[in-house]
A = this chain, B = another copy of it.
Amino acid sequence: MKKYFLFLFSLISFFQGISQEQSEKVVKLIFDEALGSSVAYENLRYLCKETKGRIAGTPQAAAAVEFTRQVLEEMKLDRVFLQEVMVPHWERGNVEYGNISSVLFGSREVPVSALGRSVGTGKEGIFGRVVEVYDFEELEKVGSEKIKGKIVFFNRPLDPTLIQTFSAYGRAANQRTSGPAMAAKYGAIGVLVRSLTHATDNIPHTGVTRYEEGVEKIPAVSISTQGANLLSQWLKKDPDLTFHMITNCRNLPDVMSYNVVGELWGTEYPDEIITIGGHLDAWDTGEGAHDDGAGCIQSIEVLRIFRALGIKPKRTIRAVMFMDEEMGQTGGKKYAELAKINNEKHYTALESDRGAFTPQGFGFGTQGERLEKMIALKKYFLPYGITEFKKGGGGVDIGPLRQFGIPLISYIPDSQRYFYYHHSPKDTFEQVNPRELQMGSAAIAALIYLIDKYDL
């Protein structure tokens, strides 16, 4: 079978003009190779189970760096290297307590999860009355007088009617990322944020928050959606109820960490670089399976597939495990910074950071003829049910490469389940289906193969 592939590829190399039919055959071989292999799935299992807790700056993150470096080394690629990155270092601690006390309803503990980069509450915790708001507009309307000395409770849910769930997330996320800093300006002593999930359950979803320079840093936690619903109901009848929260998370000095890079050198234009990446760090409450172990493993898998099929790209293909997407986005920034310093010639970059679900398509951050040509690649993907080829692409980690004027590509899988798992204890290896993971690996490999072959 292998010999047959090699023979096929010799033929392909021999005839310079590659017909569409031949490309279709290679795309089919890529999907066959991906769907017939369990290597990526087993790599993801290791990453999830053995490096759980890999927030940037932690020993687990170091383990994830070393594991993926070893995987790349064992593949005998043309080059494997690390890029030094200074990353923020935040520790969750071991106490997360939230409790509602009401003279009408009694006392009820509710699950909370400290937000990344949040300060802790101190040993006694934060205790105060609660002001529920929908958004920053309402926060402003309520005003300092009513907020001062209280805990602000941001309770805006994800809109379930938005088919693109990332849009729903995008419209609700600022209450977590900026809510604590905003509330502090009005004199709040702490912040509760409704978990950014479509699920109605008792599991809090964490995520980063960003304090502002010169504004007091107040403790912030996410609260499960059921907890948020209960708190909201009780508040309606008992506005004087109190909330008690205790966390001992803390920010430590920045530490050295790494982006991990593996290269397959190009045969014709080795100095032109195509980047495929995901991020290696992940929230500690889950295993970082969909977010974003999958994207890392798929990036590595693209190189494995190329190797297994004897595909020799014209350009250098890099699989990049970016560090610290969740906390400070320092890995992506450092990658672009080094690209500039080293005068690297970047051709295109693709990011996979939307989970290991059945592929729907790609978004292309480019325009004009280049965009048209990329969208025209759709025809190769129709047999695999991959139909969404559209304008607009990028990603947190590849975003800083935009300065080089190259097309940034988003890998787009089905998004219906993503926010059930995202940043929560439910984001585990068991929630990844091996076929869905590998349909994604194959789709990315096929796209990169075609872009490189047809010089798009």
Binding site for B on A (CB under 8 A): 31-32, 35-36, 38, 160-161, 163, 165, 198, 200, 358, 360, 383-385, 387-388, 414, 416-417, 420, 433-436, 439
Instruction: Kindly report which residue of chain B lies nearest to residue A35, judged by CB atoms.
Output: B160
> Which residues on B sit within 8 Å (CB–CB) of A416?
358, 433, 435-436, 439
| Interface CB pairs A-B, < 8 A, 7 | A35-B160, A35-B161, A163-B383, A163-B385, A163-B439, A416-B435, A420-B433
Q: Is the CB of B414 within 8 A of A161?
A: no
Q: Is the CB of B31 within 8 A of A163?
A: yes
Once the chains are docked, how many angstroms separate the CA of A165 from the CA of B433?
A: 14
Chain B nearest CB from A191 CB (Å) reads: 27
Q: Which residues of B contact A360 (CB under 8 A)?
A: 385
Contact call A388/B385, Cβ cutoff below 8 A? yes
Q: Which residue of B lies closest to A165 (CB)?
A: B435
Q: Which residues of B contact A433 (CB under 8 A)?
A: 416-417, 420
- Chain B's closest residue to A384 (CB) is B163
CB distance from A419 to the nearest CB of B (A): 9
Nearest CB in chain B to that of A361: its residue = B385
Tell me the nearest residue of chain B to A33, going by C-beta: B161
> Across the interface, do B417 and A414 meet the contact criterion of CB distance under 8 Å?
no
> Which of A31, A36, A434 has the largest count of B CB atoms less than 10 A from its CB?
A434
A439 to B358, CA, bound (A): 15
Among candidates B31, B32, B161, B417, residue contacting A36 with C-beta atoms closer than 8 Å: B161
Q: Which 4 A-B pairs have the closest CB atoms?
A: A32-B161, A416-B435, A35-B160, A387-B387
Q: Which residues from B are CB-within-8-Å of A163?
A: 31, 383-385, 439
Distance in angstroms from A357 CB to nearest chain B CB is: 8
A376 CB → nearest B CB, Å: 17
A416: nearest chain-B partner, CB-CB: B435
| Among A32, A383, A416, A420, residue most surrounded by chain B Cβ atoms (within 10 Å) | A416
CB distance from A322 to the nearest CB of B (A): 27
CA distance A436 to B160 in the complex (A): 12
With a cutoff of 8 Å between Cβ atoms, the chain B residues found around residue A32 in the complex are 161
**Beta-carbon nearest neighbor of A383 in chain B:** B163
- Give the Cβ gap from A389 to chain B, nearest Cβ, in Å: 12
- Complexed CA–CA distance, A163 and B32 (Å): 9
Measured between beta carbons, the chain B residues less than 8 angstroms from A383 are 163
Instruction: Judge whether B200 and A38 touch: CB under 8 Å.
Output: yes
A357 to B388, CA, bound (A): 18
A305: min CB distance to chain B, Å = 13
Complex-state Cα separation, A385 to B167, whole angstroms = 14
Looking at A32, A198, A358, A384, the one whose CB has the most chain B CB atoms below 10 A away is: A358
Q: Which residues from chain B contact A439 at a C-beta distance below 8 Å?
A: 163, 416
